[in-house]
């Protein structure tokens, strides 16, 4: 028995030498696994991966732990002089916002917790705080400024990944962190999560909540740089802002997404193929600005509306010509392109038959926006170009159809812009509000010099009276 007593004394002496942190670890394991079979020893590869995760601070909330209880215990301890172990500080870092109680909600509690983290000067506690900050960051959460001020100097304590992120991008400093990482993303043509992954952060941290302000900063930087080629801009912006499903990472990126794709083209549009793909992408992600609300992006909206007006002209002029070629169609094209160049047309919307719809999809893509006929008599390939001109509406029919004007677009009975389906007969007669002018597209040229008999003059005079524009005959004849 003496030998057994000696061994017991020796064992107790060894346990007495264990650090507080190791005692906490043993207590934690006993609490979670005390009555369970011993787990199989992890492989060396698993141990290496776990060690890397620990060094990068990517453990996150650990399964099986009651973080509401941890938050309550930490909050209680913060109100006393009791010491708080580094393990509890690490766990407490995940209780700042998403637990009940949330440590960041009470400023006194938050300040004391951050002070304990600073004084601990412990790598694990620092990694926990910085990881929770990057993962659970959201711009409306309390205490971000104070937490950022604590995180910045603790980056060197947390480990090389965090230290390098702070040194290279000032990542934990607000507002410098998102701005610098965003600028770097544009310079290197890589999304912010990809740059963080290069430093060794796991996907859960690299794509955590803090990636949102960095992505927004990258989009804002992209909108003001002319260093991106048109197709490169389209693809880079898509990679920055969209999920694999094609949706925005966050609805809050709507203005920055539109600005990055459109503002660089205020004076000069991109090549037609990129322009069409950009229209299709923006229409799919944000909706058609003629129908859906584009709030907070007025400049981008003006550019997009200009593109869409020209696109509607193309839907009408190109599609009708392809479906039913007519040697006289060139007169229509010249006239309406001249009116658009003069900015007489403030909105345009093509209404196509089934044959025209198929051709439009083939030419411009499945996302391209236009309307179709759902009732009334129309020929195969027939189309209407509905235009907002000044305060009125113009319906330009294809083939031998007439050009019709309603003086007041807001009046009941006038055709309305941007509906999905139209009654063909209504576009000829209105509804209890007849057109004020109907013009037959003939003749195409004046019969005698100096005598304005061509249809273009009649239509131009009506447009001029509605908008005040003045054009020489040579521009539209």
pLDDT at 24 over 90: no
Whether the per-residue pLDDT at 25 is higher than 80: the answer is no
pLDDT band at residue 18, thresholds of 50, 70 and 90? very low
Task: Report percent pLDDT > 90 for the chain.
Answer: 77
| DSSP secondary structure code for residue 199 in this structure | T
- Mean pLDDT confidence for 33-37: 42
pLDDT, residue 364, reads: 87
d(CA 322, CA 57): 61
CB 243 within 8 A of CB 249: yes
% the chain with pLDDT above 70:
88
Give the separation between CA 57 and CA 254, rounded to whole angstroms: 32
Q: What is the DSSP letter of 352?
A: E
Query: pLDDT band for position 59 (50/70/90)?
Result: low
Average pLDDT estimate for 407-430: 94
pLDDT reading at 31 higher than 80: no
What are the tokens at 177? Answer: 């962190």
Is the pLDDT assigned to residue 241 strictly greater than 60?
yes
How sure is the predictor about 393, in pLDDT bands with cuts at 50, 70 and 90? very high
Largest CA distance in the chain: 132
Tokens 């037959």 identify what position? 440
Residue 432 confidence (pLDDT): 87
Q: Check residues 35 and 311 and name the one with the higher pLDDT.
A: 311
pLDDT higher than 80, residue 191: yes
d(CA 349, CA 114): 59
pLDDT of residue 326: 87
> What pLDDT score was predicted for residue 351?
96
Q: Which long-range contacts (CB under 8 A, 24 or more apart) does 238-245 make?
A: 238/281, 239/191, 240/185, 240/191, 240/215, 241/215, 242/285
Quick one: pLDDT at residue 22?
A: 52
Which CA distances in Å does 426 have to 332, 346, 375, 384, 391? 23, 22, 9, 12, 19
User: Is residue 255 predicted with pLDDT exceeding 50?
Assistant: yes
Model confidence band, residue 371 (pLDDT cutoffs 50, 70, 90): very high
For residue range 269-289, what is the model confidence (pLDDT) as tens digits?
Answer: 999 999 999 999 999 999 999
Residue 468 above 50 pLDDT? yes
Q: Give the H/E segment covering residue 50.
A: helix 44-56
387 has a pLDDT exceeding 90:
yes
Mean pLDDT to the nearest integer, 70-92: 94
Assess whether pLDDT exceeds 90 at residue 210.
Answer: yes
Q: What is the mean pLDDT of residues 380-394?
A: 95
Q: Is the pLDDT of residue 35 over 50?
A: no
Burial 437-461 (b: 16+ CB within 10 A, else e): bbbebeeeeeeeeeeeebbbbbbbe
Q: How far is 71 from 78, CA to CA, in rounded Å?
A: 10
Q: Can you tell me the distance from the alpha carbon of 5 to that of 20, in angstroms, rounded to the nearest whole number?
A: 26
99-136 pLDDT tens trace? 999 999 999 999 999 999 999 999 999 999 999 999 99
Residue with structure tokens 């209780």?
95
Question: What's the CA angle centered on 404, arms 403 and 409, to 5 degrees?
Answer: 135
Tell me the C-alpha distance between 362 and 360, whole Å. Answer: 5
Mean pLDDT of the chain: 88
DSSP, residue by residue, 387-415: EEETTEEEEEESTTPPEEEES-TTSTTS-
Question: Are 33 and 39 contacting, i.e. CB atoms less than 8 angstroms apart?
Answer: yes
Q: How many helices (H) and strands (E) does the chain have?
A: 22, 7
List, for residues 293-339, the tens digit of each pLDDT value. Answer: 999 999 999 999 999 999 999 889 999 999 988 889 999 999 999 99
- Prediction pTM value: 0.80
């Amino acid at each position: 028995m003496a030998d057994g007593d000696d061994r017991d004394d020796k064992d107790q002496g060894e346990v007495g030498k264990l650090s507080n942190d190791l005692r906490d670890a043993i207590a934690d394991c006993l609490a979670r696994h005390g009555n369970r079979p011993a787990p199989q020893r992890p492989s060396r590869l698993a141990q290496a991966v776990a060690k890397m995760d620990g060094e990068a601070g990517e453990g996150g909330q650990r399964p099986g732990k009651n973080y509401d209880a941890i938050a309550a215990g930490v909050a209680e301890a913060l109100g006393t002089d009791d010491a708080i172990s580094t393990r509890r500080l690490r766990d407490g870092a995940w209780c700042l916002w998403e637990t009940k109680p949330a440590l960041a909600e009470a400023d006194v509690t938050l300040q004391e917790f951050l002070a304990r983290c600073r004084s601990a000067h412990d790598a694990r506690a620092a990694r926990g705080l910085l990881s929770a900050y990057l993962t659970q960051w959201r711009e409306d959460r309390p205490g971000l400024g104070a937490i950022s001020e604590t995180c910045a100097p603790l980056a060197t304590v947390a480990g090389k990944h965090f230290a390098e992120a702070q040194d290279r991008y000032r990542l934990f400093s607000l507002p410098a962190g998102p701005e610098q990482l965003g600028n770097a993303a544009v310079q290197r043509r890589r999304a912010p999560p990809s740059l963080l992954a290069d430093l060794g952060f796991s996907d859960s941290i690299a794509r955590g909540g803090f990636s949102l302000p960095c992505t927004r900063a990258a989009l804002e930087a992209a909108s003001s740089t002319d260093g991106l080629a048109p197709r490169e801009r389209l693809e880079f912006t898509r990679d920055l802002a969209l999920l694999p499903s094609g949706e925005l990472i966050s609805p809050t990126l709507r203005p920055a997404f539109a600005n990055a794709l459109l503002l660089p083209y205020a004076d000069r549009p991109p090549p037609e193929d990129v322009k069409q793909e950009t229209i299709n992408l923006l229409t799919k992600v944000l909706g058609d600005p003629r129908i859906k609300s584009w709030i907070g992006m007025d400049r981008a909206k003006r550019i997009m509306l200009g593109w869409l007006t020209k696109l509607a002209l193309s839907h009408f002029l190109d599609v009708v010509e392809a479906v039913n070629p007519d040697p006289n169609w060139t007169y229509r094209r010249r006239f309406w392109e001249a009116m658009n160049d003069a900015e007489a047309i403030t909105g345009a919307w093509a209404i196509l038959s089934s044959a025209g719809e198929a051709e439009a999809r083939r030419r411009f893509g499945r996302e391209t926006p236009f309307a179709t006929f759902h009732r009334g008599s129309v020929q195969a390939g027939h189309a209407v170009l509905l235009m907002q001109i000044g305060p009125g509406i113009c319906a330009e029919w294809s083939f031998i159809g007439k050009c019709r004007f309603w003086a007041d677009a807001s009046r009941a009975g006038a055709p309305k812009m941007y509906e999905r389906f139209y009654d063909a007969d209504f576009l000829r007669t209105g509804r209890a509000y007849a057109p004020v002018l109907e013009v037959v597209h003939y003749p195409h040229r004046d019969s005698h010099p100096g005598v304005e008999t061509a249809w273009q003059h009649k239509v131009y005079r009506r447009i001029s009276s509605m908008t005040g524009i003045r054009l020489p005959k040579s521009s539209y004849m």
